Amino acid sequence: MNVSTKAAPAQVHTLVLYHKALHPELFQVKARRVVSHVGYELEAWLMHGSHMLRLQQRSGCVCELVTDKEGGVPTSGVLATFPCVGERDFEQEIKEERLNYITTMQTETLSENLYRATYAEMMALADETDGLAVQWRDEAGGKNLSMLDIERMAREVHVHSYHLFAATGLVLRTQSIFELKK
């Protein structure tokens, strides 16, 4: 088994679930996509190493923010917040919006070979699914990637996110499901 000798990341990502809209001027948005369907609209933003999802339906909305910022993010309207470390499942019913939010996340640190293979696999997935992707290089020239794969259905939206960091070999994966209730 090949174990990475890279140091653990200095900052831990955090997932924050809001019961309000967030504004783009708070973030350095690198890519954006809006997906509309009968009864809802999903807006997705990608930043380097983070993302925001806003699901709008009826007169209200919820937002998921995955960020490595320790400060500078809104504190009002927070429904839940927790670090993205290891494996975690979370579910939140939002009765006012008649919505069920479910997320699963996983972090892992990969060896260089596994990181390169995962990076190539995620780029191929982005091409196959028309995923929203942002690539950038770190100070050492390492290839980093943030990617969203959005699947819309009649009463649900599934969003798979992948954030890859070359310097540490860190891969953060989330799958979020927004279930609209009748």
Residue 26 falls inside a structural domain: yes
Residue 3 falls inside a structural domain: no
Provide the pLDDT for residue 11.
Answer: 58
Phi, psi of 127 (to 5 degrees): -65, -45
Give the C-alpha distances (Å, rounded to integers) separating 15 from 63, 109, 114, 141: 10, 19, 25, 27
Residue 34 falls inside a structural domain: yes
Residue 167 falls inside a structural domain: yes
Residue 7 falls inside a structural domain: no
**Is the predicted pLDDT of residue 94 greater than 80, yes or no?**
yes
Residue 2 falls inside a structural domain: no
Residue 46 falls inside a structural domain: yes
Q: What is the mean pLDDT of residues 50-60?
A: 90
Query: Which tokens hold the place of 29?
Result: 């948005």
CA atoms of 165 and 174, how far apart (whole Å) = 15
Residue 47 falls inside a structural domain: yes
Answer whether 134's CB lies under 8 Å from 125's CB: no
- pLDDT digits over 13-42, tens only? 999 999 999 999 899 999 999 999 888 999
Please give the residue range of the domain that contains residue 60.
Answer: 14-180
**Total structural domains within the chain:** 1
Query: Which tokens hold the place of 11?
Result: 């900052």
- pLDDT digits over 109-128, tens only? 999 999 999 999 999 999 99
